[in-house]
Amino acid sequence: MPQTEKQNLTVSLSTQVVQMARILAAKRSTSISALVAEQVEALVSADEAYEAAQRDALSLMKPGFHLGGVHRINRDELHDR
């Protein structure tokens, strides 16, 4: 995802989670804000990739696949219409 203008976001977390996040951020030599930003960006990226894959799959399925079979009778004849 390209770097663009950033915007602040306020998030409320329990005191215990904040303490654990501080420790984790320190272990990774980063900030809690950077940890949260990284995770949110990963979620958005994964969701975009999923939606793109879904669109691609649906566009492939729309025309259908010819699997090599031969239609010897049409649908109306098969159902006596």
Whether the pLDDT of residue 2 is over 70: the answer is no
Per-residue pLDDT, 54: 97
Per-residue pLDDT, 77: 80
Token pair, residue 60, equals 């492939």
* Residue of higher predicted confidence among 78 and 7: 7
d(CA 56, CA 10): 36
pLDDT digits over 28-77, tens only?
999 999 999 999 999 999 999 999 999 999 999 888 888 888 878 887 88
Name, in order, each residue with C-beta under 8 angstroms of 32's C-beta and a sequence gap of 6 or more.
18, 21, 22, 25
What is the model's pTM? 0.66
The closest of 48, 44, 24, 16 to 33, measured between CA atoms, is 24
Whether the pLDDT of residue 1 is over 70: the answer is no
The closest of 35, 11, 13 to 23, measured between CA atoms, is 35
